[in-house]
Amino acid sequence: MKTAPHKPVKRAPAVVRAGEVYSLAELRRRLQWQEHAVRQARVKGLRLVVFGRQKYALGSDVLKFFERLAEKQQAGDGGRGE
């Protein structure tokens, strides 16, 4: 009896919690961001913490970033910071 070939399951994006610290690689994985998205987020105000050669983001900073972005979009500028 043959079994069906295993299909990889596409994972849903994971959550970001305010009280946690994420490496940049983990944040990218959780948000499903490519490098360009990270650069755009930094330009728009996402704060990263550098320690040694690594970059980290506080979960609370990521959530604040999205809150500010949502407020700008609701104000009518589309979050472009114009």
User: How many other C-beta atoms are found inside a 10 Å radius of the C-beta of residue 67?
Assistant: 10
pLDDT of residue 76: 86
Task: Note the pTM of the prediction, 2 decimals.
Answer: 0.75
* Residue 81, strand partner residues: none
Give the DSSP H or E segment for 23. strand 21-23
Average pLDDT of the segment spanning 49-56 = 97
Report the first-to-last Cα separation within the chain, whole angstroms. Answer: 62
pLDDT of residue 12: 60
